[in-house]
Amino acid sequence: MAPQVAPPRLGPRLLIVFAGWMLVNAATAQTDTTPRLEAQRVAFKQAYAAASQGGDSWRALADGLQNYPLYPYLQAASLQHDIRQVDRPTVEAYLKQYPDMIPTNDLRRNFLQELAQRQDWSDFQAMYQPGLGDALTCDALQARLAGGATLDFDKDLATLWTQPSLPSDCDAVLQAAHDQGLLTPERLWARIDLAADAGKGGTISNMTQWLSDDDAEEAKYLALALNEPATAVQAAANWPDTARARQAATLALVRLARRQSDTADTAWQNLQSRLHLAPTQRDSVLNALAVFHATDYDANALTRLVDLPLNAQTDVSREWRVRVALAEQNWSAVLSAIDAMPPGQQQNDEWLYFRARALSELGQSDNAQRAYVRAAAQSSYFGYLAADHQHASYSLCVLQPVVSPQGEQAVLAIPGMQRAFELFAVGMLKPARREWSQALANADAQTLRQAVNLADRRGWYDRAVFTFNNGQALGYYTLRFPLASQDGVVSQAEQAGIDPAWAYGILRQESAWMSDAQSGADARGLMQLLPDTAADVARHNGLPWDGGNSLYDPAVNIELGTRYLAQMAGRFNGAPWLASAAYNAGAARVSQWLDARGTLPPDIFVATIPFKETREYVARVMYYSVIYDWRLHGTAAAISTRMTPIGQPYSRPDAQDPRKNISCTTPPAAAPAPSTTTSKASAPATDKAH
């Protein structure tokens, strides 16, 4: 269905911009500019490659590009490369010619950093502007100190002092502040407490040099607790019973509980009689021990959680009380745990679903059906599980954005948007996103809709994912869940022998359609493959492999990603939900969880996954798979058919299987708004999560 069309409401400033754009383009309106634009893009890429090597050779390649929107990026790239050799007049000339542009701001920041390295404080002060980050703020203070100025704590340091960690550029400034007598014990301890709350043991260690011997010793307790909690709890047996020692012991016990709950438990038994912790500190330790014994599913985990003092309970501990009861399939305990939650927490779609599940298991059929009705009103993984229990259709309220040719032309008249779309067209995706964000920083909802619609037509799919991420805009499902047939997801999934809707769901969760996505673990591209993994998949499947950077090519990434998904599925009887968990957390971890709780039904098993990231990952991928099934076919296979019991073989949905209709269900008055699950590129889980 074509989008609805309505004229946008344009403010006076936007109308002026639009009118100017129309006048500028009137002379060329009757000519085909596409070949010329393509030629400019080719020329720009060549010139940019030359500019990135420094010097002026790019200028000959850029002949005729002076009116091309990205022309300012060329000289900026050359100057950035030659930053150690360029002088202030050259940089200032560029800043004056292109004020308020992103390359301009980057060049100013980088040149100031270079001037600081040179200790050219005269030029630095002439060019410095506040608000460029903590490092340059400290460099500016160094420049003043070099000129003989003194520091004023409230004026110069108070804001920096609230940061739990600072860059090395600030070391000399902090030392000067100490030498001037500005770092009083009270100020030092205030920042140590900030650093302790933020887990920055290194910051605390650095500040011990400015404390008295006794204070330094107690500060070292805190640093040790943060950096080496196991060592700290052993050392705490010899610490004095002071406020700072108690603070450090609390930090160490809580951090150790996350890693080694049994060791932390033993340490707590030894320390609680000799260190008289405050009630809030005891509550913090008791909470951590209960929660992390729960994530290990220890035999007495449920009792610990039930017996937690009221002041020691948190949303996290109450949630884990439900999960442990689910793992035990103790349905009365499940119901009691949900009833013990605050009303707001009970309205989470997960707990609405498991309340209905518990009522059903306890034989309270009428109450269970009413609870399932409330849960099924949600457009979410849990809402669709609830709908399957009712044999009901799935709730999905689909909106089409209201756009207009005039509104889209007005967006295209914004210089920053011209640069954003051209940067996307030439493959410079990170700068493109920066230009987009700056150009639309204060845009209204209607302008955003026009911009996203334009981006979608150009194949820039991640703009919808990140722009339509809350409120009513979540209803723009066709934009938020693009099909992108040109990337070959369907054909590659079919060749790999997996469900295309599932492949789409994985891709959407992994990268949110950012083809240049790169995780901290170096997973790359749309389906977030590690280079070593991709190389193994290519070798195993007889596919070409051209190195890690080839994973930024969507076609390559999807071909290898779908084969890797098939490989994961093969390890778990084809089950997409278990393979999804393995894709996120690793097959070895999933096998461990199966060894421990492999007799549980799929919905309960997912709810008892120890890692929060992986639990939510599986739920989102299964939900997204339904959405993509609907996008591909107009109906969807039931989510429960994707959640095959552990050990049973999975068969892909076919034309003979029953399908779910999609309809817009009005939630009951007492039910919450639909869950807002937002995709983003993710890295594998590495620790137990609350």
Looking at residue 5, its pLDDT comes to 33
Instruction: Give 270's Cβ-side CA count (13 Å radius).
Output: 15
**pLDDT tier for residue 133 given thresholds of 50, 70 and 90:** very high
Which contacts qualify for 483-487: CB closer than 8 Å, 24 or more apart?
A: 483/628, 483/631, 483/632, 484/459, 484/513, 486/459, 487/526, 487/554, 487/555, 487/558
Is the pLDDT confidence value at 30 over 50? no
Looking at residue 560, its pLDDT comes to 97
Is the pLDDT confidence value at 6 over 60? no
Please list, in sequence order, all residues whose beta carbon lies within 8 angstroms of the beta carbon of residue 202, skipping any fewer than 6 positions away. 165, 223, 227
Closest CA to 397 of 636, 667, 623: 667
Looking at residue 671, its pLDDT comes to 39
Q: Where are the domains of the chain?
A: 405-475, 485-663
Query: What mean pLDDT, rounded, does the chain reach?
Result: 91
Amino acid at 57: S
In this predicted model, what pLDDT tens digit does every residue of 573-606 receive, in sequence order?
999 999 999 999 999 999 999 999 999 999 999 9
C-alpha angle with apex 146: 145 to 152, nearest 5 degrees? 5
Question: Burial level of 438, CB count in 10 A (0-12/13-18/19+)?
Answer: middle
Is the pLDDT confidence value at 371 over 90? yes
- C-beta neighbour count of 666 within 10 angstroms: 9
**pLDDT tier for residue 657 given thresholds of 50, 70 and 90:** confident
Taking each helix axis from N to C terminus, what angle separates 415-425 and 429-439, rounded to the nearest 10 degrees? 160
Q: Hey, which residues are catalytic here?
A: 510
In this predicted model, what pLDDT tens digit does every residue of 305-362 receive, in sequence order?
999 999 999 999 999 999 999 999 999 999 999 999 999 999 999 999 999 999 999 9
Closest CA to 452 of 442, 444, 462: 462
Looking at residue 157, its pLDDT comes to 97
- Assign 129 to helix, strand or coil: coil
Q: For the chain, report the end-to-end CA distance as a whole number of angstroms.
A: 43
Closest CA to 638 of 626, 650, 651, 655: 626
Looking at residue 34, its pLDDT comes to 84
**pLDDT tier for residue 33 given thresholds of 50, 70 and 90:** low
In this predicted model, what pLDDT tens digit does every residue of 244-294 receive, in sequence order?
999 999 999 999 999 999 999 999 999 999 999 999 999 999 999 999 999
Is the pLDDT confidence value at 562 over 50? yes
**pLDDT tier for residue 55 given thresholds of 50, 70 and 90:** very high
Closest CA to 319 of 616, 650, 527: 616
SS3 content of the chain, % helix, strand, coil (to 5): 65, 0, 35
DSSP for residue 498: S
d(CA 256, CA 400): 50
Closest CA to 70 of 81, 58, 87, 85: 58
- Assign 5 to helix, strand or coil: strand
Q: Do the bridges between strand 659-660 and strand 662-663 make them parallel or antiparallel, or are there none, so unpaired?
A: unpaired
Please list, in sequence order, all residues whose beta carbon lies within 8 angstroms of the beta carbon of residue 535, skipping any fewer than 6 positions away. 545
In this predicted model, what pLDDT tens digit does every residue of 493-518 receive, in sequence order?
999 999 999 999 999 999 999 999 99
**pLDDT tier for residue 667 given thresholds of 50, 70 and 90:** low
Q: Cβ distance 488 to 555 under 8 Å?
A: yes
User: How large is the average pLDDT for residues 102-113?
Assistant: 97
User: How large is the average pLDDT for residues 652-669?
Assistant: 79
Q: Which ranges in 158-200 belong to alpha helices (H)?
A: 158-161, 171-179, 185-198
**pLDDT tier for residue 11 given thresholds of 50, 70 and 90:** very low
Task: For residue 5, report the phi and psi dihedrals to the nearest 5 degrees.
Answer: -115, 130
- C-beta neighbour count of 643 within 10 angstroms: 23
Tokens of 256: 């150790």
User: How large is the average pLDDT for residues 646-651?
Assistant: 94
Is the pLDDT confidence value at 572 over 70? yes
Tokens of 669: 């008055």
Tokens of 331: 């349905």
In this predicted model, what pLDDT tens digit does every residue of 419-445 receive, in sequence order?
999 999 999 999 999 999 999 999 999
Tokens of 216: 């330094």
Whole-Å CA distances, 12 to 15, 18, 19, 436, 573: 5, 10, 11, 21, 61
In this predicted model, what pLDDT tens digit does every residue of 151-210 receive, in sequence order?
999 999 999 999 999 999 999 999 999 999 999 999 999 999 999 999 999 999 999 999
d(CA 623, CA 609): 17
Closest CA to 74 of 56, 99, 101: 56
Cα 624 from chain centroid (whole Å): 17
- Assign 563 to helix, strand or coil: helix
Whole-Å CA distances, 549 to 15, 126, 500, 529: 43, 41, 25, 11
Whole-Å CA distances, 194 to 60, 163, 199, 445, 522: 54, 8, 9, 38, 31
Please give the CATH topology (third level) of the domain spanning 485-663. Lysozyme (1.10.530)
d(CA 645, CA 578): 10
In this predicted model, what pLDDT tens digit does every residue of 602-620 receive, in sequence order?
999 999 999 999 999 999 9
Amino acid at 30: Q
**pLDDT tier for residue 485 given thresholds of 50, 70 and 90:** confident
**pLDDT tier for residue 130 given thresholds of 50, 70 and 90:** very high
β-partners of residue 688 are none
d(CA 301, CA 293): 6
β-partners of residue 529 are 524
The dihedral over CA atoms of 293, 295, 298, 302, expressed in degrees to the nearest 10, equals: 80
Claim: this prediction has a pTM higher than 0.75: yes
The helix or strand, by DSSP H or E, that contains position 303, with its residue range, turns out to be: helix 301-307
Task: For residue 273, report the phi and psi dihedrals to the nearest 5 degrees.
Answer: -85, -20
Q: Cβ distance 194 to 231 under 8 Å?
A: no
Is the pLDDT confidence value at 15 over 50? no
β-partners of residue 524 are 518, 529
d(CA 248, CA 217): 12
- Assign 663 to helix, strand or coil: strand
Looking at residue 18, its pLDDT comes to 36
